[in-house]
A and B are shown apart, each in its own frame.
Chain A
Amino acid sequence: MTTQVLYEEPGPKAKRRSLFSSVGVGVVILAVLTWVLVTLGAQGQLTVEKWGPLIDPTNGTFGPLWNLLGQGLLNTLLAAALAVVLSLVLGTILALSRVTAARWYRWAVVGLIELLRGVPVVIAIFFASRVLPEFGVDLSLVWYLVIGLTAYNMVIIAEIVRAGILALPRGQAEAAYAVGMTRGQVLRTVLLPQAFRAMLPALISQLVVILKDTSLGFIIGYEDFVRQGQIIIQNLGNPIQTYIVIAIVFIVLNYALSRLAIWVEHRISHGRKAATDATAVEKEVAGD
């Protein structure tokens, strides 16, 4: 809904007024930002010693520092990629067993999903790292992190895939059965591909969540991006600067992923509704 409907169409006077208030608000926002910068400067947070190693390539520590951070970023991406693949596989299996299996088994799956969905992911990671060794399962740190992330995200993905299957028109499955396909074939060749396609934006958005949650590896000492940042801070004593840089990297990565999800969604809905709805979609995207 556009707020336009709530108000009168602005006349020349109202337009002038809103231009003035826009400038006023802009000045206030700039003033706040300036005040923040001045405060940081007064506290000696804008000095070259603090920022140089992070942003100045000619600085002696720049190379080794970004080596360390880069290694951390690779570790983060590795853990996230492993968790994504495992969650996708296990989540799809869970979703399929929930859709097709016998009643008692379905209840067990629903129970598992509800259980894992209610547990904070940080607890799942902590649980994996503390409990598995008690049972003699001795893994490297990355796997505890991956197991914790997978336990949580596979049920989310299972729900996404299930929603995708249920949203398909009934005729799809009926037609497939009618031409003599078995249940497995119907799922594999007709329903799943369509469900994945429809759910692709939701799945990509879940990637953002997994990538962010990988930073929880710090509680078990996994040397991810954030943990490497801590090592740098211990040596250089610049927490504000380092965390700002780390935050920017995460924000850029995740923002790119969410734009990708929106772009894919846009493409999919364009494909489906063809020309009839194109203008409506256009409007929606513009209003975002």
Chain B
Amino acid sequence: MDVIVENLPMYLDGVRVTLLICLYAAVLALVLGTLMASFRVSPLPPLRGAGASWVTIFRNCPLTVVLFFMAFGLPEIGLNGSYFWFGTVGLALYTSAFVCEALRSGINAVPAGQAEAARAVGLDFSQTLSLVVLPQAVRTVIPPLGNVYIAMIKNSAIVGAFGVGGDLFAVGTTLTSARGEAALPVLTGVVIGYLIITIPAGLLLGVVERKVAIAR
């Protein structure tokens, strides 16, 4: 296990890069996912179709294929960029489909009676939405959205497998392949690195879930 201690700065840097990829992808996926969710509940059929196609494409296509397309397809038409950005944007595109479905299920889960009751006591449209429907929708959405993001953190390892410099996965390949260290201790370190991100994230999600959960 000495190899972990000796290369601790490298591991910490790996955690930092992984978190950075996740942060950018999370924000971008939230923006895209919200946009697509609003498309999917919109009254206009073409928008609904566009949202549904987006979700079908990115939910059923392996992230690997999305990333390969970004990294090797886009340069063919003159779009060049770093693997870091190709990977992050690819991860965001893929995750946005799941974010969209989580948001949509949350909005759909608010019983129609809630809005009807709000309108019956004389709240107008914006009051109904902001005071009654959205607060409930947000609370139902937190558990599925949290799961989507934990899955995204784990998927970020695939981005690393595409040769993004310095993330946790890359630390594993650098130490085992380039420096010929024994795989077991090196990769145990990588696994620990991911666990110290994902397990607290899961626990935190559980706490938030209990705090905001609404019995239905």
Contacts and interface: CB of A to CB of B under 8 A. Distances in A.
Interface residues of B, number: 60
Contact of B65 (A130, A215, A287): A215
B176 A123 contact: no
B50 A243 contact: no
Given A26-B46, A134-B184, A247 B61 contact: yes
A255 interface: yes
B76 A43 contact: yes
A134 B128 CA distance: 63
Interface stretch (B5-13, B27-35, B154-162, B208-216): B154-162
Contacts of A134: 182-184
A226 B182 contact: no
Interface residues of A, number: 55
Contact of A45 (B62, B76, B110): B76
A107 interface: no
A119 B108 contact: no
A134 B188 CA distance: 14
Contact of B161 (A39, A45, A122): A122
A131 B187 CA distance: 8
A122 B169 contact: yes
Contacts of B161: 122, 126, 216, 219
Contact of A123 (B50, B109, B125, B194): B194
A29 B42 CA distance: 15
A5 B64 CA distance: 41
B16 interface: no
B111 interface: yes
Contact of B172 (A3, A10, A123): A123
Contacts of A254: 59-61
B43 A5 contact: no
A118 interface: yes
A239 B69 contact: yes
Contacts of B81: none
Nearest to A244: B69
A35 B73 CA distance: 17
Nearest to B60: A254
A260 to B, nearest CB: 13
A218 B187 CA distance: 18
Nearest to A118: B198
B183 A239 contact: no
A251 interface: yes
B60 A255 contact: yes
A263 interface: no
A244 B156 CA distance: 22
B108 A1 contact: yes
Chief secondary structure at chain A's binding surface:
helix
Contacts of A39: 77
Nearest to B184: A131
Given A22-B46, A251-B56, A212 B194 contact: no
B195 A1 contact: no
Given A1-B107, A118-B198, A29 B76 contact: no
Contacts of B60: 208, 212, 250-251, 253-255, 258
Nearest to B202: A118
B62 A215 contact: yes
B47 interface: yes
B138 interface: no
A205 to B, nearest CB: 11
Contact of B73 (A1, A118, A243, A255): A243
Contacts of A230: 68
A133 B198 CA distance: 28
Interface string B91-109: 0000000000000000111
Closest 4 CB pairs of A and B: A130-B183, A120-B157, A254-B60, A120-B154
Interface of A: 1-3, 5-7, 10, 18, 21-22, 25-26, 29, 39-40, 43, 45, 114-115, 117-123, 126-127, 130-131, 134, 208, 212-213, 215-216, 218-219, 226, 229-230, 233, 239-240, 243-244, 246-247, 250-251, 253-255, 258, 287
